Amino acid sequence: MVERIFEIIENEKKRQQNTIELIASENFVSLNVLKAQGSILTNKYAEGYPKKRYYGGCMFVDEIENAAIDAATRLFGVKYANVQPHSGSSANMAVYRALLKKGDKILSMSLDEGGHLTHGHDLSFSGQDYNFIHYSVEKETCQINYDEVRRLAMKEKPRLILAGASAYSRKIDFEEFRDIARSCGAYLMVDMAHIAGIVAAGLHQNPCKYADVVTSTTHKTLRGPRGGIILTNNEQIIKKINKTVFPGIQGGPLMHVIAAKAVCFEEAMTPEFIKYQKKVINNAKILCDVLKLEGFKIITNGTDNHLVLVDVKKSVNLTGKEAEEILDNIGITCNKNMIPYDPTTPFITSGIRLGTAAMTTRGFVEKDFAEVAKIISACLTNYDNKKILDDLKLRVQKLCDDHPIYEEVSYE
């Protein structure tokens, strides 16, 4: 029944309103992004690229795609953009396929040290089709050791070096990566999915200046619709990328999503967006500092971005899986996450990953994140005390009630 579907969507809306969202890869889009993505553009087939389509009636979707490309290139200060990838994974696949042959060597960070499935995990097409070798973070600091990356790169001579991560809370030196890639004759690819919004706001070194090609999702700190993009300054590379995205790995582009991407890129060029990203970073520092005061061990001992990786095993003797479930029960959503040199598996983990982008969008300020850190600490140290947990649930609900979201939106 159609009504049942809308009932479920309404339930999800209430869940979003009534929980504290700390998943570092999630955010809340603006009403304009939502409107574009829910628009009648979903009806249109447009295989190909502007002015080179395989269907008629593409005059307006051509304008939409050109507007998205134009906005993406202005936002990131880059010459070329492909805005069609349905996701970050397909953006990454397109780059590998455009620049490499099956079996070619790629140097990247592994999933358990902060990388991503598509950065060479055995269960992903990436690890199956290409010969990945991984650089590690340092055991002591849990930070990238650029000398070690250089040593590995010179020894292994990869075709491509991949920088970028899903669970790394420190700045990444893309210029250094560029120098290493040049020294060993490799392409440099950067996957900036997590930090794209911070880069857009000028608060992190822009990888587009240094990398041959940059991929990203559009829905994390960038606060757009779910989807991917590919950016480059190299005309030969964009030609190969375009052919690989369509017809290589995708069919018709999702024009409603591309319109929503265009809205998000425009929003990311406003002064408000820069202020927002400054708050995201500042709130992450507060979350991190208060957790440290509460006795928690933080991987890298701090953060430079939107993300805080907590070693819950060392801090409170819980696995990441247990901590995620315990927090879920009081209305705090986060995800279990491997930490560097984690002896467990991705389904158990020793850590949880927390991010501040979503709740900063909801208007949480420093004192709210300090309160969140205290709630997390009390919850994970008293997870078998029902009375304390009930009290914590009320504190979570109060924070949510004080920062409403999507009041204008109804699916009933």
DSSP codes, 118-156: GGT-TTSHHHHHSEEEEE-B-TTT-SB-HHHHHHHHHHH
What are 104's two structure tokens? 């070619």
Alpha-carbon separation of residue 4 from 7, 9, 37, 379 (angstroms)? 5, 9, 22, 34
Q: How far is the CB of 221 from ligand DSN (least distance, A)?
A: 11
Q: ω into residue 343 within 30 of 0, thus cis? A: no
Catalytic residues: 45, 47, 191, 217, 220, 226
Q: How far is the CB of 193 from ligand DSN (least distance, A)?
A: 6
Distance CA 139, CA 314 (A): 15
Alpha-carbon separation of residue 366 from 20, 123, 229, 336, 359 (angstroms)? 15, 40, 32, 24, 11
Strands 228-232 and 213-217: antiparallel
Residues in the chain: 412
Give the residue among 84, 24, 74 at the shortest CA–CA distance from 267.
74
163 strand-pairing partners = 190
Q: How far is the CB of 108 from ligand DSN (least distance, A)?
A: 14
Residue 202 makes CB contacts below 8 A (sequence gap 6+) with 274
Residues that bind ligand DSN (CB under 6 A): 25, 88, 116, 166, 193
What are 211's two structure tokens? 């990398």
Q: How far is the CB of 317 from ligand DSN (least distance, A)?
A: 25
What are 41's two structure tokens? 């553009």
Name the residue nearer to ligand DSN (CB basis): 186 or 312: 312
Give the residue among 402, 332, 339 at the shortest CA–CA distance from 365.
402
Q: Residues 201, 302: contact at Cβ < 8 Å?
A: no
Name the residue nearer to ligand DSN (CB basis): 48 or 228: 228
Name the residue nearer to ligand DSN (CB basis): 167 or 288: 167
Residue nearest to ligand DSN (CB): 25
Give the residue among 284, 304, 276, 275 at the shortest CA–CA distance from 370.
284
Distance CA 242, CA 388 (A): 55
What are 146's two structure tokens? 């650029």
